[in-house]
Structure 1
Amino acid sequence: MFQSIIDAHIHLDAYKIGERQRLLKEMSENNIETMITVSQNLPSAVINLSMARNEPKVKAAFGFHPEQPLPKETEIEALKLLMNHYQEDMVAVGEIGLPYYLRKDNPEIQVEPYIEILEYFLQAADAIHKPVVLHAIYEDAPIVCSLLEKHNIKKAHFHWFKGDTKTVSRMIQNGYYISITPDVLYEEEIQQLVGVYPLSQMMVETDGPWPFEGVFKNKLTHPKMIHQSIKKIAEIKGEKLEDVYKKLYVNTRDFYDM
């Protein structure tokens, strides 16, 4: 029997309504205790807030995903007001970070305005004593590490992380957490990261509805995929499966203060 799991990063609001209902209905039979649904923007945060208030197994994070055009100042202010007013209904500030892929597609995009927004949210998270969920990969990751250090943010979760060994060492030293996606079953880069990153600073996620390849090709991204991720993590780490289940579960519960 599978042990209990927590999906540490999913965009539940981005699923079609019928798919969302299916995931919620199938949580118990797949030993999915909690899904932490992160927000793309203000409308996304409003939907996630509603789900979190109506479904005890859903926990919400509010933020502005960086892989999109800059928001208006009014939207940022509204998000901050939402976070301040509904602190008890949120577990983190996220998803926030820097627009790596957006800048790859549009090199003329300047990163400085996104850094300014990120700092705004880091300060907001610090003010309400919430952890942050980060989209920060490759050369953006050292920039974000510096910002976390600047604002003395200790509880940082880098989801689906990819980066150089120097940055990985820095993140480990600073106590930052990462979460592993189902592509750990077939992506060597992710397998290598699992090999070097401490299990004590690791969680698991789907980032659904983002689709995966390999055994998951053409399948709806579902938190139950995490069971296969954990099996692979245990194999890479050379640890007992039940011990890895327990550690990842406790890590997530503790990090998000649930």
Structure 2
Amino acid sequence: MEKIADAHIHLDHYAQDEIRLIMDELDQSYCTNLISVSFDLESCKKNLKLAKQYSQVKPAFGFHPEQEIPSDREIAELLDWMNVHQDEMVAVGEVGLPYYLRSENPKISIDPYIHLLDDFLKFAKKWDKPVVLHAVYEDAAIVCDLLEKYNIKHAHFHWFKGDSITIERMIKNGYFISITPDVLYEEEIKRLVLKYPLNQMMVETDGPWLFEGEFAGKMTHPSMIHESVKAISKLKNEDLSFVYKRLYENTKMFYRL
């Protein structure tokens, strides 16, 4: 095993004993950093607390889009808090558009989510922060429009899924993606790895999200990333050590660690 960094995890969503276990085992997993993304203001505060407790945790602050849109007051409170703590965050995230929520309820309007994402991108531009994005399938093209509008280059599409036209656009714009452990068994993710340049790729767990295949029934742990790296190496037909170093350096560079 070589050094890894988990480019996207919801550490604050784990139980306390699970957090302690993950952090206690981080060194033996050769994992140097966890980019812990936030779900809402309470989540932001929890991630900041975790970052102060554990030097390996690097927090991103934002509002996960797969939930009811917050009130104007709640949005203002979150953005004000982020402004106060902008020097303690490595990125704005997780932000984006609610693809799955709208799939379940097509009556939900996307417009308020676009406006909220616009506010987050303005913040990222103002403070020169990378952006961690939840944007899949047709939503990704809308997000690309907004990123281009603000000329934001440091964009990370986590667990991305989408069409070839959008993929080519993302590659051309220099955006990054991150690959989850389902690269071991999901053909869609394998095809994405084959298409996307290694120098614009990272690896993540998105924990505590649970995986299938050989990970079925197991708590999602940063150590699973080692299997992802091996799978990427095989798909890319590249030396394993080279892939380890490239993915690790990509993450360190993107998040300025």
Q: What's the TM-score, normalizing by structure 2?
A: 0.99
Q: Specify every segment of 5 or more residues in structure 2 that has no aligned partner in the other structure, as ranges.
A: none
What's the offset of the Cα at 1:82? 2.1
What's the offset of the Cα at 1:78? 1.9
What's the offset of the Cα at 1:248? 0.3
Distance in 1, Cα, partners of 2:12 & 2:210 = 15
Structural mapping, 1:3-14, within 5 Å: 3-14=2-13
Distance in 2, Cα, partners of 1:70 & 1:90 = 23
Contact 1:62 1:79 in 2 (8 A): no
Name the SS of the counterpart of 2:100 in structure 1: helix
- Could you tell me which residue of structure 2 aligns to residue 69 of structure 1? 68
Structural mapping, 1:1-258, within 5 Å: 2-258=1-257
What's the offset of the Cα at 1:75? 2.0
Paired residue type of 1:101: Y
CA RMSD across the alignment: 0.6
Q: Deviation above 4 Å: which 4+ runs of structure 1?
A: none
Distance in 2, Cα, partners of 1:69 & 1:82 = 20
Distance in 1, Cα, partners of 2:58 & 2:160 = 22
Q: What's the TM-score, normalizing by structure 1?
A: 0.99
Paired residue type of 1:113: P
Paired residue type of 1:232: A
Task: Report percent identity of matched pairs.
Answer: 58
Name the SS of the counterpart of 1:147 in structure 2: helix
Distance in 2, Cα, partners of 1:25 & 1:120 = 37
What's the offset of the Cα at 1:177? 0.1
What's the offset of the Cα at 1:159? 0.1
1:55-82 Cα offsets, whole Å, 9 max, x none, are 1000000000000001122222222122
